[in-house]
C-alpha cells in the first residue's frame, strides 16, 4: 500500500501497523484515534452497519464536497472500497487510519495531500485502472462499462488534469451509437494514449497494439480533418 | 679460367679447353641462327662439343669453380663445367639480337609487325635447336646452378627468351603493341586484316612471361602479356566502344542499337578465341558490357516500357540477354514488367465494364488471356528467369484480387465468387458441353487463376454451394470432371479444404443405393406408391443447405413421405430426417387444359397448383394458410406461376396483397408438352449471395480467433507485430486477414480473458491459461 510513502514526510508520527503486528507502546495513541473514527463511522452508518448511498451523501455534505467530486473517488480508493456507493465499517475505519484522520476536519485537511499523491504518474495509473473495476460494481455481473457511464467516469477521473484530447474523444463516442460499451482494455489503454500520442494524432501508428476502438477514433478524426481541409480549399 | 690444355690429368680424362671448341661451335650456332638447314652429322658435332666441354675436368679449376658458385658448397662428386660457355652463348645471343634490332627500329605499323613476328618465329625455332644442342649443359651445369639458388642462370632456351626480352622486345614493344591495336581497330571497322601478325605478337608476349622465380612452374605468368598488351588493349576497346555506342544511339533507335551491341559482343568473343590469349576473355567481356550496356542502362529502361507496350517480344528478349550480363541490371526491368502486367490486367478487366461483374466467363477469360500472354513472354523472351516469373506472379496476384470489378462490388471476395461460378458453368450440364480433354484443359486454367486468389475460403464456400446444387439436381455434366476438379483443389489446398466436397459425393452415391433398396422394399411390400418417388439423403454437416422452413405437404405427397420415413427409421434408428422442401421438385400432369401437359415444378409450386384441384380461384391469404409457405416466398412463387400464365389475376402482379385473387387460367397453352416452370427466384439468388458473404465474415473471425489462441498457447508471450505476422502466416492458405479485423479479434480475446497485455509493455501479450 502507499501508506508508507505518505508517512515518510511525517517522520515524527509513528507508522500505522496492521492489526496483527505487536507493538504495544504505540497502541495507546492509536486506540484513541480509533475510538474517534468509530464514532465518526457511527454518524453515517445505516441499519446494516454500513454507510450506504444516503450516508455517503451526508458524509460528503459534511466534508463540503459533492458525491461525484474527484476527491471522493480518491477517498474511496484510499479506503479500498469494494463497492461503489458503500463503505463498510472495516473500510471506513482502516481507511481513516490509513490517511491518518479521525474527524471531518482532519479528513478535509488531508485533501491536498491526497490530491498531490495521486498526481504521481505511477500512482495515478493504479488509481485510474482501479476506477474502472470500481465503477463496474454498480451493477453486479456487469463486465463492460456502458459508454455513457464511462464518459462520466472519465470526466471525474481526469478532472484534475484533463488531457486535451478528451473532448474530441467524447465527441467520437457520442456520435457513434454502434459502440457497445467500453471494455476494460480500452479504458486502460486510453491513459497511455493520452500520454504518448500527440494532439494532432500524427504519431499514432495503427499497426501497433492499440485497441481497435482507438484505431477507429484516430481514423474518424483524420477523416474529419481531411474534410475540413478540403472545404477550406 | 682457361686451364692448361695439357697438364695434370691423373684421371685420364680428356681436357678440352673452351677455346678449342668455341670457334667451331660458334660457327655452328651462327648457322643455326641463319636458319639454314643443318645436316644431322653437323648437329651431332655441335652437341658433342658441348658435351665434351662440359665433361672435361680442370683440376686447377676444381676448387675455384666451386668457389665461383655463390653458395660456396663444395661440389661433391662430378664437377660441372659450364659457366664460360654459358657466358659466351649469352654474349652471342645479345650481339645477334642487337644487330637484328637495327633492321627493325624504324619500322611502324604493319611493317614492324611483319618484321617482329617473322624474326620471332625464326628466333624461337633457332633457339630451340640451340637448346637441343646444349642439352647436356642444361641438364647438368644449369640445373645444378639453379638448385643452388642462382637466379640468373637459365636453360639455354629460356636464356634466349630472356635475351630477346631484354633487347629486342624492350626496344620494340611499344611500336609493336600500337601497331597491333591499330590493326584491331581496322578490323573492328570492318576491314580484313592479317590476323597472323597479331597472333604472332601475342604468342611472343605470352612466351616471354617467364616465371623467373621458378622456372619449373607450369606455364608462363602472362605478366608481359598483360602489362604490355592486354591493359592497353582493354583501354583502347573501352574508348572505341564508348565512342561508337554513344554515336550510334544518337542516330539510331534502341532496337537497332541492341542488335549492334549483340553483334559486337560476339565479335569480341570470337576475337579472343581467334588470336588473343584466352585469359583476356572475361576482362574483355566486362569492359564491353560496361560500355555497351551498363553505360546506357537508363535508355534501355525507358525503351523497355515502349517495347512492352508494343509487344515487341524479340526485342524484349534481346534486351534481357544484354541487360542480364550486368549485375543487378535486371532489377528495374522486373519492376517495370510487374507494373505493366498489373496495368494491363486492370485495364482489360475495366474494358469489360459492367458485364464482367455478372458474367463469370468473360471475367475469367479476360484474366486468363492476360496471364497467358505474359506467361509466354516470360518463358520465351525472359528465359523463365525466376525474378521475372516472380514479377508476373506479383502483378497477377494484385490485379486478380483488386480490380474494377471488385471495386464495383465493393468487396475483394468478388473474384473468388466469380471464379467459382465459372466452374459451375463448366461443370453443369448444358447444351454445349465441351469435350473431356478440352474441359480438363479449361479446369487446369481455372487452377492457374485459383493459385492467385487470396480469399480461397470464399471460393470454397461458393464452390461447395454450387456443387451441392449440381449434385442434388443431378446437373453434373461429367462425374469424372467433378472428381478431377476436387482432386486438383485437394492438391492445391490440402485434404481439409476438400473433405466436405468429397462427403457430398459419397452421400449421393449412398442415396442411389438407398433409393434402390426403397424400391425393392415397396415392391416386396405389395403396396406400391401411387407416385414415382425418389430421395436424396444428405449428411447435414457436409452440405451447405440451410434448414427448411414451414410447409404443409400436399395430401397427394403425404403417403410417400410417411412410407419413406418409416422405411428409413427402420434402417437407421436414431437418425433424424429434415426435409428440404425448398429444394425439392416434381412433375405434375394437367388434366384441365386442352392438352395434357407435364409441368416440371418445385414442390412449393406443386403445393399451390394442387390446391386448384378443388377450386378455380383462391386468394393469396388462403393459399398462404393452406400451404404455410412464408409470405414473401409465396409471393415469388405466385409471381412465377403468373408469369407462366398458369394463373391469372386482375391485380398488379408486382403488388400481390393477401386479398388478391388468383384464378386458374383454363385457356393455358404451350408449344411444348413438357414445360419446366421451376425457375429460380431472383431475390433468392441475391439473398443467398449476401448471406454467404456474411457467413464468410463470421467464419473468418472465428478462424482468426482460433489461430490467435493456438499461437499464444504455444508461444506464451509474444509481441504484437509478431503475433500479427504469425496469424497472417497461418491463415494465408485460406485467405488474407485484414489487420483491423485481427486487432478486433485480439480485443475480443482480451475481454474474454484468453490473453492479457504484459504490464509495462503495452505491445506484448501473454497467454492466460
3-state secondary structure of B435: coil
Give long-range contacts, CB 8 A cutoff, 24+ apart: B74-79: B78/B140
Does A209 sit within 8 Å of B765, measured CB to CB? yes
Which residue among A185, A192, A206 places its CB closest to the CB of B747?
A185
User: For the residues B545-567, what does the mean pLDDT come to?
Assistant: 85
For residue A207, give how far its alpha carbon lies from the nearest alpha carbon of chain B (Å). 8
CB contact under 8 A, B744 and A185: no
Angle (nearest 5°) at CA A37 between A33 and A42: 150
Structure-block grid coordinates of residue B596: 395434357
**Closest CB from A183, A192, A207 relative to B747:** A183
CA distance B733 to chain A (A): 22
Contact assignment for B743 to A211 by CB distance below 8 Å: yes
For the cut 70, the answer to whether the pLDDT of residue B45 exceeds it is: yes
Which residue numbers of B have CB closer than 8 Å to A's CBs? 720-721, 724, 739-740, 743-744, 746-747, 750-751, 757, 762-765
Q: Judge: B762–A185 Cβ closer than 8 Å, yes or no.
A: no
CB contact under 8 A, B757 and A208: no
CB contact under 8 A, A192 and B762: yes
Average of pLDDT values for A130-144? 87
pLDDT confidence of residue A7: 42
Judge contact between B348 and B395, C-beta under 8 A: no
Strand order in the sheet with B617-619: B617-619, B661-664, B647-648
Among the partner-chain residues A143, A185, A208, the one whose CB lies closest to the CB of B763 is A208
Three-state secondary-structure class, residue B139: helix
Nearest CA in chain B to A191: B762
Residue A34, pLDDT score: 75
pLDDT score for B85: 86
Dump pLDDT digits (tens) for B660-671: 888 888 888 888
Q: Are A176 and A221 in contact (CB under 8 A)?
A: no
Residues 146 through 165 of chain A touching chain B, CB cutoff 8 Å: none
| CA atoms of B649 and B661, how far apart (whole Å) | 6
pLDDT of residue B60: 43
Cβ distance A211 to B739 less than 8 Å, yes or no, reads no
- Chain A: nearest CA to B747, how far in angstroms? 6
List chain B residues with CB under 8 Å of A183: 747, 750-751
User: How far is B546 from B543, CA to CA, in rounded Å?
Assistant: 9
User: Which residues numbered 202-231 in A keep a CB inside 8 Å of some CB on B?
Assistant: 206-213, 215
Choose among B557, B565, B559: nearest CA to B602: B557
Is residue B65's pLDDT more than 50? no
Q: Which of B759, B762, B765 to mutate to test the interface with A (most CBs of A within 10 A)?
A: B762
Sequence-distant (≥ 6) Cβ neighbours of residue B69 within 8 angstroms = B145, B148, B150
CB distance A212–B744 less than 8 Å? Answer: yes
For B582-611, how does the pLDDT look when each residue is reduced to its tens digit (9 = 90+)? Answer: 888 889 999 888 889 999 998 999 999 998
Interface test with B, best of A129, A185, A190, A216 (most B CBs within 10 A): A185
CB B194 within 8 A of CB B200: no
Instruction: Determine the residue of chain B that is closest to A213 in CA distance.
Output: B744
Rounded CA Rg of chain B: 49
**Furthest-apart CA pair in chain A: how many Å?**
78
CA distances from B86 to A156, B138, B141 (A): 113, 10, 10
A184 touches chain B (CB under 8 A): yes
- Least confidently predicted of A135-139, B320-324, B512-516: A135-139
pLDDT of residue A231: 65
Give buried/exposed letters for A157-175 (b at 16+ CB in 10 A, else e).
bbeeeebebeeebeebbee
Q: How far is B737 from chain A (nearest CA, A)?
A: 14
| Cβ separation A144–B747 shorter than 8 A | no
Asked if A183 and B750 come within 8 Å (Cβ–Cβ), the reply is yes
**Mind listing the pLDDT tens digit for each residue in B484-499?**
999 999 998 888 888 8
| DSSP structure class, residue B582 | G
Is the minimum CB–CB distance between A90 and chain B shorter than 8 Å?
A: no
Whether A185 and chain B come into contact, CB under 8 Å, resolves to yes
SS3 B213: coil
CB contact under 8 A, A215 and B757: no
Question: pLDDT by residue (tens digit) across B627-662?
Answer: 888 888 888 888 888 888 888 888 887 888 888 888
Shortest distance between the Cα of B506 and any Cα of chain A, in A, equals 45
Interface list for A 97-156 with B (CB within 8 A): 143-144
CB atoms near residue A216 (< 10 Å): 17
What pLDDT band is residue B76 in, cutting at 50, 70 and 90?
very low
* Listed range (A102-106, A203-207, B72-76, B102-106) with the worst mean pLDDT: B72-76
User: Is the pLDDT assigned to residue B100 strictly greater than 50?
Assistant: yes
Check CB contact of A197 with chain B, cutoff 8 Å. Answer: no
- Rounded Cα distance, B396 and A17, in Å: 74
pLDDT surpassing 80 at residue B16? no
Nearest CA in chain B to A125: B760
A–B interface: beta-carbon pairs under 8 A: 40
Beta strand pairing call for B717-719 and B617-619: unpaired
What value does the mean pLDDT take over residues B72-93?
71
Q: Do A209 and B744 touch (CB under 8 A)?
A: no
Is the CB of B743 less than 8 angstroms away from the CB of A212? Answer: yes
Which cell numbers hold the place of B641? Answer: 406461376
Distances (CA, A) of B632 to B269, B280, B285, B600, B655: 82, 87, 80, 22, 11
For residue A178, the chain B residues in CB contact (below 8 A) are: none
**Closest Cα in chain B, distance from residue A210 (Å):** 8
> How high is the pLDDT of residue B396?
94
Predicted confidence band at A169 (pLDDT cuts at 50, 70, 90)?
Answer: very high
Calculate Rg over the CA atoms of chain A: 21
Q: How sure is the predictor about B207, in pLDDT bands with cuts at 50, 70 and 90? A: confident
pLDDT of res. A29? 53
Q: Which of A185, A189, A215 sits opposite B740 (nearest CB)?
A: A215
Local structure of B598: helix, strand or coil: strand
Which of A185, A208, A210 is the closest to B750 by Cβ?
A185
pLDDT score, position B13:
47
The verdict on a CB contact (< 8 Å) between A189 and B740 is no
Q: Judge: B720–A208 Cβ closer than 8 Å, yes or no.
A: yes
ipTM here:
0.77
Tell me, yes or no, if A180 comes closer than 8 A to chain B by beta carbon: no
Q: Determine whether the interchain pair B762/A209 forms a contact, defined as Cβ–Cβ distance below 8 Å.
A: yes
d(CA A149, CA A142): 12
Residue in chain A closest to B720 (alpha carbons) equals A209
Confidence of residue B52 (pLDDT cuts 50, 70, 90): confident
Structure confidence at residue B384 (pLDDT): 93
pLDDT band (50, 70, 90) for residue A68:
confident
Chain B residues touching A144 at Cβ < 8 A: 751
Residue B12: pLDDT band (50, 70, 90) is very low
Contacts of B740 in chain A (CB under 8 A): 206, 212, 215
List CB contacts (< 8 A) between A184 and chain B. Answer: 751
Contact: A211, B747; criterion CB under 8 Å: yes
Output the pLDDT for position A32.
Answer: 54
B611 and B661 Cβ atoms separated by less than 8 Å: no
Facing residue for B762 by CB, picked from A144, A189, A206: A189
Q: Name the band, by pLDDT with cuts 50, 70 and 90, for residue B505.
A: confident
Beta carbons of B750 and A189 less than 8 Å apart: no
Report H helices in B311-435. 313-323, 330-352, 355-358, 360-380, 386-401, 404-409, 414-427
Average pLDDT over residues B302-309: 92
Residue identified by cell 493456438 is B710
Among chain A residues, CA nearest to B755: A185
Residue B404 distance to chain A (closest CA, Å): 24
Instruction: Say if the Cβ atoms of B721 and A186 lie within 8 Å.
Output: no
Task: Give me the count of residues in chain B.
Answer: 769
Lowest-pLDDT choice from B59-73, B121-135, B427-441: B59-73
Amino acid at each position: 500500500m502507499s501508506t508508507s510513502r505518505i508517512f515518510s514526510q511525517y517522520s515524527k508520527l509513528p507508522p500505522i501497523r496492521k492489526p496483527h503486528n505487536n507493538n504495544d507502546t504505540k497502541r495507546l495513541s492509536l486506540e484513541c484515534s480509533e475510538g474517534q473514527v468509530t464514532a465518526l463511522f457511527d454518524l453515517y452508518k445505516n441499519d446494516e452497519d454500513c454507510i450506504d448511498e444516503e450516508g455517503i451523501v451526508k458524509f460528503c455534505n459534511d466534508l463540503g464536497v459533492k458525491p461525484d467530486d474527484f476527491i471522493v473517488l480518491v477517498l474511496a480508493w484510499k479506503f479500498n472500497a469494494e463497492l461503489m456507493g458503500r463503505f463498510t465499517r472495516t473500510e471506513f475505519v482502516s481507511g481513516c487510519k490509513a490517511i491518518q484522520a479521525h474527524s471531518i476536519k482532519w479528513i478535509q485537511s488531508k485533501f491536498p495531500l491526497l490530491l498531490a499523491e495521486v498526481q504521481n504518474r505511477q500512482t495515478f495509473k493504479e488509481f485510474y485502472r482501479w476506477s474502472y473495476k470500481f465503477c463496474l460494481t454498480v451493477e453486479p455481473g456487469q463486465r463492460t462499462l456502458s459508454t455513457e457511464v464511462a464518459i462520466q467516469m472519465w470526466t471525474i477521473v481526469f478532472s484534475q488534469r484533463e488531457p486535451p484530447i478528451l473532448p474530441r474523444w467524447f465527441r467520437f463516442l457520442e456520435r457513434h451509437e454502434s459502440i457497445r460499451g467500453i471494455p476494460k482494455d480500452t479504458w486502460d489503454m486510453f491513459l497511455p494514449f493520452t500520454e504518448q500520442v500527440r494532439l494532432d494524432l500524427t504519431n499514432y501508428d495503427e499497426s501497433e497494439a492499440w485497441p481497435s476502438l482507438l484505431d477507429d477514433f484516430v481514423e474518424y478524426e483524420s477523416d474529419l480533418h481531411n474534410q475540413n481541409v478540403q472545404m477550406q480549399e | 679460367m682457361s686451364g692448361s690444355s695439357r697438364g695434370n690429368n691423373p684421371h685420364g680424362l680428356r681436357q678440352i679447353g673452351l677455346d678449342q671448341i668455341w670457334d667451331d661451335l660458334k660457327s655452328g650456332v651462327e648457322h643455326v641462327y641463319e636458319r639454314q638447314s643443318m645436316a644431322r652429322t653437323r648437329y651431332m658435332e655441335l652437341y658433342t662439343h658441348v658435351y665434351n666441354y662440359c665433361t672435361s675436368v680442370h683440376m686447377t679449376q676444381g676448387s675455384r669453380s666451386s668457389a665461383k658458385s655463390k653458395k660456396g658448397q663444395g661440389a661433391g662428386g662430378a664437377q660441372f663445367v659450364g659457366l664460360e660457355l654459358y657466358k659466351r652463348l649469352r654474349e652471342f645471343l645479345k650481339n645477334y639480337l642487337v644487330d637484328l634490332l637495327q633492321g627493325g627500329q624504324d619500322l611502324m605499323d604493319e611493317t614492324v609487325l611483319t618484321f617482329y613476328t617473322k624474326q620471332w618465329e625464326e628466333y624461337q625455332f633457332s633457339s630451340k635447336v640451340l637448346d637441343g644442342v646444349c642439352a647436356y649443359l642444361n641438364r647438368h651445369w644449369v640445373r645444378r646452378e639453379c638448385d643452388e639458388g642462382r637466379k640468373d642462370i637459365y636453360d639455354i632456351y629460356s636464356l634466349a627468351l630472356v635475351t630477346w626480352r631484354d633487347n629486342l622486345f624492350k626496344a620494340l614493344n611499344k611500336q609493336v603493341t600500337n601497331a597491333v591495336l591499330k590493326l584491331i581497330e581496322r578490323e573492328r571497322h570492318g576491314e580484313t586484316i592479317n590476323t597472323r601478325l597479331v597472333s604472332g605478337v601475342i604468342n611472343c608476349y605470352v612466351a616471354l612471361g617467364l616465371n623467373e622465380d621458378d622456372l619449373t612452374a607450369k606455364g608462363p605468368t602472362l605478366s608481359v602479356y598483360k602489362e604490355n598488351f592486354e591493359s592497353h588493349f582493354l583501354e583502347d576497346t573501352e574508348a572505341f566502344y564508348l565512342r561508337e555506342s554513344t554515336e550510334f544511339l544518337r542516330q539510331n533507335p534502341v532496337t537497332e542499337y541492341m542488335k549492334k551491341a549483340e553483334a559486337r559482343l560476339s565479335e569480341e568473343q570470337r576475337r579472343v578465341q581467334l588470336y588473343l590469349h584466352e585469359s583476356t576473355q572475361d576482362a574483355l567481356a566486362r569492359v564491353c558490357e560496361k560500355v555497351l550496356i551498363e553505360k546506357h542502362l537508363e535508355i534501355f529502361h525507358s525503351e523497355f516500357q515502349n517495347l512492352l507496350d508494343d509487344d515487341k517480344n524479340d526485342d524484349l528478349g534481346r534486351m534481357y540477354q544484354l541487360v542480364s550480363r550486368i549485375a543487378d541490371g535486371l532489377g528495374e526491368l522486373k519492376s517495370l514488367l510487374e507494373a505493366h502486367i498489373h496495368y494491363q490486367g486492370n485495364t482489360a478487366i475495366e474494358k469489360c465494364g459492367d458485364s464482367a461483374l455478372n458474367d463469370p466467363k468473360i471475367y475469367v477469360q479476360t484474366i486468363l488471356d492476360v496471364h497467358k500472354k505474359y506467361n509466354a513472354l516470360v518463358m520465351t523472351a525472359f528465359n523463365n528467369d525466376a525474378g521475372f516469373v516472380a514479377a508476373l506472379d506479383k502483378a497477377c496476384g494484385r490485379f486478380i484480387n483488386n480490380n474494377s470489378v471488385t471495386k464495383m462490388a465493393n468487396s475483394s471476395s468478388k473474384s473468388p465468387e466469380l471464379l467459382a461460378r465459372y466452374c459451375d458453368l463448366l461443370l453443369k450440364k448444358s447444351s454445349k458441353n465441351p469435350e473431356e480433354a478440352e474441359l480438363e484443359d479449361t479446369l487446369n486454367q481455372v487452377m492457374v487463376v485459383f493459385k492467385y486468389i487470396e480469399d480461397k475460403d470464399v471460393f470454397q464456400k461458393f464452390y461447395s454451394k454450387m456443387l451441392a446444387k449440381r449434385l442434388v439436381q443431378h446437373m453434373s455434366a461429367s462425374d469424372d470432371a467433378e472428381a478431377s476438379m476436387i482432386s486438383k483443389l485437394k492438391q492445391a489446398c490440402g485434404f481439409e479444404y476438400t473433405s466436405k466436397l468429397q462427403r457430398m459425393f459419397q452421400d449421393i452415391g449412398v442415396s442411389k443405393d438407398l433409393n434402390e433398396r426403397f424400391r425393392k422394399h415397396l415392391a416386396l411390400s405389395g403396396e406400391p406408391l401411387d407416385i414415382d418417388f425418389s430421395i436424396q439423403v444428405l449428411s447435414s454437416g457436409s452440405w451447405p443447405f440451410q434448414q427448411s422452413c414451414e410447409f404443409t405437404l400436399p395430401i397427394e405427397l403425404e403417403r410417400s413421405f410417411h412410407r419413406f420415413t418409416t422405411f428409413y427409421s427402420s434402417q437407421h434408428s436414431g437418425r433424424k430426417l429434415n426435409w428440404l422442401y425448398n429444394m425439392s421438385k416434381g412433375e405434375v400432369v394437367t388434366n384441365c387444359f386442352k392438352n395434357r401437359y407435364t409441368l416440371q415444378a418445385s414442390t412449393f409450386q406443386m403445393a399451390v397448383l394442387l390446391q386448384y384441384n378443388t377450386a378455380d380461384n383462391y386468394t393469396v391469404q388462403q393459399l398462404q394458410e393452406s400451404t404455410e409457405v412464408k409470405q414473401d416466398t409465396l409471393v415469388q412463387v405466385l409471381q412465377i406461376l403468373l408469369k407462366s400464365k398458369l394463373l391469372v389475376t386482375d391485380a398488379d402482379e408486382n403488388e400481390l396483397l393477401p386479398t388478391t385473387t388468383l384464378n386458374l387460367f383454363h385457356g393455358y397453352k404451350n408449344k411444348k408438352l413438357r414445360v419446366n416452370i421451376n425457375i429460380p427466384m431472383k431475390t433468392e439468388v441475391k439473398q443467398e449471395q449476401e448471406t454467404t458473404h456474411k457467413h464468410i465474415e463470421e467464419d473468418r473471425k472465428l478462424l482468426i480467433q482460433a489461430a490467435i489462441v493456438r499461437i499464444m498457447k504455444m508461444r506464451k508471450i509474444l509481441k504484437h507485430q509478431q503475433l500479427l505476422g504469425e496469424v497472417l502466416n497461418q491463415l494465408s492458405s485460406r485467405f488474407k486477414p485484414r489487420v483491423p479485423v485481427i486487432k478486433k479479434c485480439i480485443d475480443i480475446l482480451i475481454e474474454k480473458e484468453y490473453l492479457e497485455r504484459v504490464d509495462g509493455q503495452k505491445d506484448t501479450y501473454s497467454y492466460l491459461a
